[in-house]
């Protein structure tokens, strides 16, 4: 149970407004479900309507912390040993290492009841996929170093608009971030001051000619912010649903509001002296057929 005492700032507002002010990541579906089940009390009385509340009213919410914070209700785990944990991050939740209670790291810590877990890399908020966590300080430092030195190889599945110029290619260019334009990243052919080398490899897994969509397996040779999304735009094959690098016309055509991009596989090449070198013989991945079949069902292919 979570208790809220309404302050002067929130006095005279609807119950829903007050609750969302306190818990901005809580879903509307969760709120209305609590109302329907009468799992909200105001001044010790159960209510079922979105009424006005006033200063010093006491609101009691009978639900899990995960529901209040908008955390995923179920988390899928794909690998775990004494040093690392690999979990699947859904869309709409941030993935970084800090004290925020609205991040995927906090969700996994809460779910696993383990405060030692630390996320070791970022994944865009609206990109789904596998995320690696460390379980101790040694593995954390090893993983950070491995990501920095490209010893961990991450593969993605992307659904992009139109047919790619080649079935396989390694794109080599430079990326620069425009902080004044919402963090938009642009791919350049030549180096300019402030740009970074970016290398993206892709292979076309399939092409749907009736809807003009390609499904790509993408491997990162460098790990830059928005690398895949920016490089696909540069190539002329934006990721479908991408609000930043695709177009409204394309996104509306397919009915997606976030990018169809999934981190689906990890391979490792740790140094032989690393305590995590045993991972070199492992491939950690999800079944991409499930992702492709869902897309086909959505698009009625």
| Least confident residue range of 35-39, 176-180, 222-226 | 176-180
Beta bridge partners of 170: 201
Contact yes or no for 211/299 (Cβ under 8 A): yes
What's the CA gap between 173 and 128, in Å, rounded?
25
Tokens of 119: 């996320």
Per-residue pLDDT reduced to its tens digit, 25-80: 888 999 999 999 999 999 999 999 999 999 999 999 999 888 888 898 899 999 99
Q: Say what the pTM is.
A: 0.86
pLDDT confidence of 183, banded at 50, 70, 90? confident
From the list 100, 89, 4, the residue with the least C-alpha distance to 53 is 4
- pLDDT, average across residues 119-123: 93
Looking at residue 115, what DSSP letter applies? T
Beta bridge partners of 184: 178
Per-residue pLDDT reduced to its tens digit, 235-270: 999 999 999 999 999 999 999 999 999 999 999 999
List the end-to-end C-alpha distance of the chain, in Å, as a whole number: 46
Is 181 exposed, middle or buried, given 0-12, 13-18 or 19+ CB atoms closer than 10 A? exposed
210, pLDDT greater than 90? yes
CA–CA–CA angle 240, 263, 150 (5° rounding): 120
Per-residue pLDDT reduced to its tens digit, 262-300: 999 999 999 999 999 999 999 999 999 999 999 999 999
Residue 243: predicted pLDDT = 95
Q: Where are the beta strands (DSSP E) in 122-163?
A: 128-134, 152-161
Tokens of 260: 């169809």
128, pLDDT greater than 90? yes
What's the CA gap between 220 and 202, in Å, rounded?
9
What's the CA gap between 117 and 265, in Å, rounded?
20
pLDDT confidence of 98, banded at 50, 70, 90? low
Residue 96: predicted pLDDT = 76
What's the CA gap between 71 and 64, in Å, rounded?
10
180, pLDDT greater than 80? no
Domains delineated in the chain: 2-69 (3.10.290.10), 77-149 (3.30.70.580), 156-263 (3.30.2350.10)
Per-residue pLDDT reduced to its tens digit, 162-172: 999 999 999 99
């Amino acid at each position: 149970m979570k208790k809220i005492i309404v302050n002067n700032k929130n006095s005279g507002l609807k119950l829903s407004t007050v609750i969302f002010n306190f818990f901005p990541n809580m879903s509307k579906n969760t709120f209305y479900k609590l109302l329907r089940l009468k799992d909200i009390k105001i001044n010790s009385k159960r209510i079922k309507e979105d009424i006005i509340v006033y200063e010093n009213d006491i609101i009691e919410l009978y639900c899990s912390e995960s529901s209040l914070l908008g955390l995923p209700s179920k988390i899928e785990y794909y690998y775990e040993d004494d040093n690392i944990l690999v979990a699947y991050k859904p869309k709409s939740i941030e993935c970084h290492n800090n004290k925020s209670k609205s991040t995927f790291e906090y969700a996994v810590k809460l779910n696993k009841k383990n405060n030692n877990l630390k996320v070791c890399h970022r994944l865009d908020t609206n990109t789904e996929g596998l995320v690696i966590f460390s379980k101790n300080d040694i593995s954390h430092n090893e993983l950070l170093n491995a990501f920095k030195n490209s010893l961990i190889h991450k593969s993605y599945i992307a659904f992009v608009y139109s047919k790619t110029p080649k079935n396989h290619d390694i794109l080599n260019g430079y990326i620069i971030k425009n902080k004044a334009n919402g963090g938009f990243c642009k791919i350049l052919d030549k180096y300019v001051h402030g740009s970074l080398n970016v290398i993206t490899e892709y292979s076309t897994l399939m092409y749907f000619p009736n809807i003009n969509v390609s499904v790509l397996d993408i491997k990162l040779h460098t790990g830059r912010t928005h690398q895949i999304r920016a490089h696909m735009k540069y190539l002329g094959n934006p990721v479908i649903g991408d609000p930043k690098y695709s177009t409204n016309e394309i996104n509306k055509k397919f009915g997606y509001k976030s990018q169809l991009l999934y981190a689906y596989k990890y391979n490792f090449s740790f140094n032989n002296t690393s305590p995590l070198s045993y991972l070199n013989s492992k491939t950690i991945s999800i079944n991409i057929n499930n992702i492709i079949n869902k897309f086909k069902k959505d698009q009625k292919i």
